[in-house]
Each structure stands twice: as C-alpha cells, then as structure tokens.
Amino acid sequence: MTPRRRILPVFVPNLGCPHRCVFCDQRSISGRPEPARPEDVVRAVEEGRLAGPAGESFTLAFYGGSFTAIPRGEQEALLRAAQPYLASGVLKDVRLSTRPDCLDREELAFLKSFGVTTVELGVQSMDREVLRLSGRGHTPEDAVKAAGLVKEAGLCLILQMMTGLPGDTPEKSLATARELIRLSPDGVRVYPTVVIRDTPLFTLWKAGLYKAHTLEEAVPLCAALCEEFDRAGIPVIRLGLNPTPRLSAGLAAAGAYHPALGELVLARRYLERERALLSPEDRGRDVVFAVRPGRVSAAVGQRRENAKTLTEEFGLRRVRFVERDLPDLTVTRIIA
Ligand code: SF4
C-alpha cells in the first residue's frame, strides 16, 4: 500500500476573506494571529524534511483563508517560495482552500502555472437561507459555477460542507450532500458547526438566538452523510475540526466538537448495520457479530455504547464481536 503523502499546512488565517462568516475565527483556531509569509513556507518544508525520513515528499497546503482572494502579488510570493521544492521533488503538489465566489478561469490558470493541483471550496451549505444566516456572502450558484471551473481546469476538487449552521436542518444537510455529489468532487470534508468563542455565532448563541448543534445530533447526521458519499464513491477525507489543545480547553464553547468525532461517526455507522440484523425474536438471546479485523472497537462503540444500546433495545442476553475477513463496514451475524 502506498503511504499517504504528508501534508505540510501553512495557515493564512482569514486572509483574503471578503466576509466574516458568523462561525469563523481562523486566527484563534490556528493559534496564529499573523498570516503566513513566504519564509513560513520555507520553514514548513524544511521542518517537514527534518521530521521525516530522507527522500520523503510532501504536499504543501494553504489553509484557513480565502487564498484566491488574497492580493495577487501576495499569492504569487507564497507560491514562489514553494517552487524550488516542487522543482527538486521535495514537494509533489500544492493545495489550497478558498471561497466559491473568488475564483475564475484566469485565477485557476495562474494557480496551475505555480504547481497547484487541488482546490478546496468551502461550500458549507447549498441552502440559500443557511448561507445568508451564516454570513457567507455567496450563493449556491457560486458553488456550482466554481466547482465546474475547477474541474474544467483539470484540478482536483475537494468540497467542504458544514452541518448545524444557523437555519440548518438535517434535511437541508442531506440535500446539500446530494447537491455536492452532483458536482462530482474528488473528496469532501464535513464539519459540524462548533461555536468558537468570541465569534458572531458565539454572541448569537449567548443571546439564545442560535441553538448549538449537539454531538447527539451531529453524529447520526454525519453517519447518514457518509453513507450518501460512500454510495456515490466520494471519499470523506475529514470529519470535524482538527482537535487542538486550544479548542479542547474552551475555545470550542459549544457545538459538535469532539477530538474523536470520526470514531464516533464510524461507530454509529456500525450500530446501524448491527441494528438491521436484529429483530424482536432476538430477545433473551446471545448475539455474535463479525466485522473486519481492526474494526471491533468501532463495532462495539466508545465505552461499549453500541453493545449497550442493542442489548437494551432488543433485550439481548449478551452481544459479542469477533473478527473475520470481511470488507470494511460489513457486519455479519454468526450463530451463537
Ligand atoms: S469560513 Fe472561510 S471564507 Fe468564511 S471567514 Fe472563515 S476562512 Fe473566510
């Protein structure tokens, strides 16, 4: 198996952003008050080289802002700093994130000429009202147009969506996922909304004008979204904010923040599969489920949550899990 190439992130927190989205404060999330300069690109690559085995190659990623809305000279200075490393093969590619309303053919041609291979678009929702209430300042049509332009340019397209935004509902999130699927991205990131301290969303939440998205809501919803993306063959490359000590220490004031959100969602997907294999006739029985090696902990759930839920729901005597040579996310029942 080819190891995944290590990503060297360079943060450009809120740089270029023409609007401040209500939920966002990239400066506090990244812990970097100042945006990156060309020397930070060099430092990120050199530190990556020192930390890894000789000959390792990397992906450079500009995250946390609206890269394509940064003044062109500053974009160019950052991208130029990466060129010697691209030429020597230390960097294999460059990726960046931006907004759907800050992209056109000319910009994409410029990015390609500097070795950018992947553009991540923060779509967040395809619901007009959710976008408006979240202060996004762009429309669903902007997302459709930008995604088309990225694909037309032959670049890899990653789309980001959020759940639990102001005015959002699980139905709207599922509809957003289906619309993203129609745009044929190469991957998606799903971020349940977290109330970051001192953002406009924090103020709304404190005033009782926004109800925080809970983990209890986000986990089953993200599980359902993953099923949609899986069926379409689109990888979910990230679920939830990258955990950091700052977020865990209270910067995440409310909302669906959990350092192991991906594991919770995976356990939930297993729970649904296990549930589908049980019926009222199982009351009082011992039940044994088989899953792929390495997936027993996901199948049992954090703190045996899945096992407890099924035992109570179906009145089981006992539920056990064993490993068998099965595909991922497949559960079969073994006669006890
Ligand atoms: S969500 Fe994206 S576009 Fe909005 S303020 Fe944050 S970095 Fe800028």
Ligand 1 centroid from CA 25, angstroms: 8
159, amino acid identity: L
Ligand 1 centroid from CA 172, angstroms: 21
Tell me which residue has its CA closest to atom 6 in ligand 1.
Answer: 24
Asked whether residue 322 carries a pLDDT value surpassing 60, the answer given is yes
- DSSP helix, strand, coil percent of the chain (3-state; round to 5): 45, 20, 35
Tell me which residue has its CA closest to atom 8 in ligand 1.
Answer: 17
User: What residue spans of the chain are helical by DSSP H?
Assistant: 26-30, 38-51, 72-88, 105-113, 128-133, 140-152, 170-182, 200-206, 215-231, 245-246, 261-276, 296-300, 305-314
**Mean pLDDT score, 13-29:** 90
Q: Is the pTM of this model over 0.75?
A: yes
Ligand 1 centroid from CA 319, angstroms: 46
Mean pLDDT (the chain) is 95
Tell me which residue has its CA closest to atom 2 in ligand 1.
Answer: 65
Q: Which atom of ligand 1 is nearest to the CA of 17?
A: 8
d(CA 71, CA 65) in angstroms, rounded, equals 12
Grouping H, G, I as helix, E, B as strand and the rest as coil, residue 182 is helix
Tell me which residue has its CA closest to atom 3 in ligand 1.
Answer: 17
Which CATH number among 3.40.50.2300, 3.40.50.10420, 3.30.470.10, 3.20.20.70 corresponds to the domain 6-259? 3.20.20.70
Q: Using N-to-C axis directions, what is the helix angle for 72-88 and 38-51, rounded to 10°?
A: 30
User: If we measure between CA atoms, which residue out of 91, 27, 38, 92 comes closest to residue 65?
Assistant: 27
Give domain limits for the chain.
6-259, 278-334
d(CA 213, CA 291) in angstroms, rounded, equals 31
Q: What is the per-residue pLDDT for 19?
A: 83
Give residue for tokens 């068998």: 324
Ligand 1 centroid from CA 21, angstroms: 6
Q: Return the CATH architecture of domain 278-334.
A: 2-Layer Sandwich (3.30)
With pLDDT > 70 as the criterion, what percentage of the chain qualifies? Answer: 99
Residues with CB under 6 A from ligand 1: 14, 17, 20-21, 24, 26, 65-66, 99, 122
Q: What is the tens place of the pLDDT at every residue in 162-213? A: 999 999 999 999 999 999 999 999 999 999 999 999 999 999 999 999 999 9
User: Are 131 and 161 contacting, i.e. CB atoms less than 8 angstroms apart?
Assistant: no
Ligand 1 centroid from CA 333, angstroms: 46
User: Are 272 and 230 contacting, i.e. CB atoms less than 8 angstroms apart?
Assistant: no
DSSP readout, 23-52? T--HHHHHT-SS---HHHHHHHHHHHHHHS
Q: What is the per-residue pLDDT for 336?
A: 67
Q: What is the per-residue pLDDT for 266?
A: 98
Tell me which residue has its CA closest to atom 4 in ligand 1.
Answer: 21
Ligand 1 centroid from CA 180, angstroms: 19
User: What residue spans of 185-250 are helical by DSSP H?
Assistant: 200-206, 215-231, 245-246
